[in-house]
Amino acid sequence: MQKRWTVRSYQPKQEALLQASLRIHPLLCRLLVQRGMHTYDESRLFFRPTLADLHDPWIMKDMDKAVSRIEQAIFRHEKILVFGDYDVDGTTAVATVFDFLHTLYNNIEFYIPHRYREGYGISAQGIEYARDNDFSLVITLDCGIKATEQITWAAEHGIDFIICDHHLPDAILPPAVAILNPKQYDCPYPYKELSGCGIGYKLITAFAQKIGLPESAAHRYLDLVATSIAADIVPMTGENRVLAFHGLKKVNESPLPGIQALIQLSGLKEQLTISNLVFVIAPRVNAAGRMDDARKAVNLFIENDMEKAMEIAKVLHADNFDRKEIDGNITKEAVELIQNDTTLHNKKSTVLYKPDWHKGVVGIVASRLIDKYYYRPTIILTLSNDKVAGSARSVIGFNVYEAIHKCKDLLENYGGHFYAAGMTLKPENVPAFQERFEEVVATTINPELLIPEITIDTEISLKDITPAFFNILKQFEPLGPDNQRPIFLVRNVVDSGYSRLIKDEHIKFSVKQGRHPMAVTGIGFYMSDKFSIVSSRQPFDMVFTIDENEWNGKMNLQMKVIDIRSH
């Protein structure tokens, strides 16, 4: 797949000022300025985040009301239901709030809606369960901000709601006794990008303060908060960075039994990073809801006995194995559908439908098609409860939600945001929807957006890649949105004579630049089609990240090559 290279803009004056105060490599100052760090103090907070940097939870609108209502419920011996979404953010949030309150009060349960029987958010079944079992207070995590109709109905049946959500509110808010959501227009809380579990963490922090518990009572759940931040792809800035930094520390030093069990089953031996949480821990947690029942994930997180935690983790591990097999098979089928139909091959969008595809993995399949095969807005549809249901994913810069909105007359229901959305429709409307969506994409998308983009942070010389440089670069962790792993561009390198193909698929690079005598090594996975550029012994340009590689017990720096281009 051909890729566009875009080098980010530089701010030389700010970089020079920062370099004068930090006295580190100028390119590291460039990376910091690009991430919003302009002063010594901002950089210190970036490199050395402390829990003392977190904002006072009482600043959040309605925090006083939320804490008072929980206190009142405990005093009156009311039944409390902690209700959350079935994904990683929802299950970690429910586990955090439920387990914290359960250590103080026994008359409490949790509820996770079933992905297929109930769907996302506050379900009618969930409210009926609360009513039929005499729950008078429901605390929602990672959902509820748009459930005005359901919460109005619940209020009429004497059920109060405290909403903890981080999704964008509508103009009309649900009639809850308290709404904790920094994205409310009149909420003074300074940081707006917390995960759902992050907001739950703020609630238990405030409650702990109110009843005089030590701060460590909330710190127990930092590994769950870090897992939610990693999985929900929220910005790795401000409070999220502080919480992720200390959550990772806890993951590596004293994880909860459930997290420890998942780590052991995954076979990870090294220090865990955000990337490990995203690609190793989160899929196993998500698999519970995708393949069966997400209550298992909450039960795992709240289990204190290591043996029991391992038994639950094994079930999630098996669910994830099944999920991988299913989404691999569906991806293969989807690619074959496109390859065997030239009209599909040449479209500007992908909309595929097979009634027997597993609903729990259609979003993953859509993402895989974009990442590895056909870089264009993609929707995968399947049959579920006599309705066609699907997930959409987009390419960078194209608003897939808006495109779906223009097809709304063909849909039963839809929702989502810029890069991901979901929808349901009648089976007979599928062909018309495929045609309309293609028409919308073809007439509105900038053709350039159909070529994958690599955003490069800065040019670099091979001589700059030193252990001292990398030691500071490592401290950019935890990485994530708005603080991605730095990507470098080096120009005019030549093969040192030792580059070679590995297993006919990958390239092991050994390159030199100019008069610099030292060769720098790198690895390029699945880049064998570019080997002719390397072996020509002519200069070429290379885009890469910097990594460590252990060989014979010795650590060496290496480039992880993303793309190369001949002159």
For the segment 202-247, what is each residue's pLDDT rounded down to a tens digit? 999 999 999 999 988 999 999 999 999 999 888 999 999 999 999 9
Whether 324 maps to a domain, the answer reads no
Pair 226, 277: CB distance under 8 Å: yes
Give the distance between the most distant pair of CA atoms in the chain: 79
CATH number at residue 403: 3.10.310.30
State how far the Cα of 469 lies from the Cα of 460, in Å rounded to an integer. Answer: 12
What does the alpha-carbon distance between residue 256 and residue 91 come to, in Å, rounded to a whole number?
Answer: 14
DSSP assignment string, 81-108:
EEEE-SSHHHHHHHHHHHHHHHTT-SSE
Its domain, for residue 22, covers: 4-48+454-566
- 443 in the same domain as 535: no
- Position 307 confidence tier, pLDDT thresholds 50, 70, 90: very high
| pLDDT over 90 at 6, yes or no | yes
DSSP 8-state symbol, 355: T
CA distance 270 to 272: 6
User: What's the pLDDT at 485?
Assistant: 95
Q: Whole-prediction pTM value?
A: 0.90
**Locus of tokens 């509508």:** 170
Q: What is the DSSP string of 436-494?
A: HHHHHHHHHS-GGGGS-EEEE-EE--GGG--HHHHHHHGGGPSPBTTBPPP-EEEEEEE
Element (H, E) at 70: helix 63-75
- Do both 275 and 138 map to the same domain? yes
Per-residue model confidence (pLDDT) at position 116: 76
Q: What is the pLDDT of residues 61-74, one digit of tens each?
A: 999 999 999 999 99
Q: What is the per-residue pLDDT for 419?
A: 87
Q: Is residue 495 part of a domain?
A: yes
- Please give the torsion angle defined by the CA atoms of residues 414, 112, 221 and 53, in that order, rounded to the nearest 10 degrees: 30
**Cβ distance 228 to 255 under 8 Å?**
no
Residue 553 has pLDDT above 80, yes or no: no
Mean pLDDT of 241-254: 96
Per-residue pLDDT band at 99 (split at 50, 70, 90): very high
Same domain, 359 and 372: yes
Phi, psi of 305 (to 5 degrees): -90, 120
> What is the average pLDDT across 306-331?
93
* 140 and 192 part of one domain: yes
pLDDT mean across residues, the chain: 93
Nearest in space to 180 (alpha carbons), one of 153, 144, 211: 144
Over residues 436-490, the pLDDT tens digits come to 999 999 999 999 999 999 999 999 999 999 999 999 999 999 999 899 999 999 9
Confidence of residue 163 (pLDDT cuts 50, 70, 90): very high
Residues 258, 221, single domain; the answer is: yes
**What pLDDT does 466 receive?**
94
Q: Are residues 73 and 176 in the same domain?
A: yes
Residue 325 lies in a domain: no
497-539 pLDDT per residue, tens: 899 999 989 999 999 998 877 889 999 999 999 999 999 989 9
- pLDDT band of residue 552 (cuts 50, 70, 90) is confident
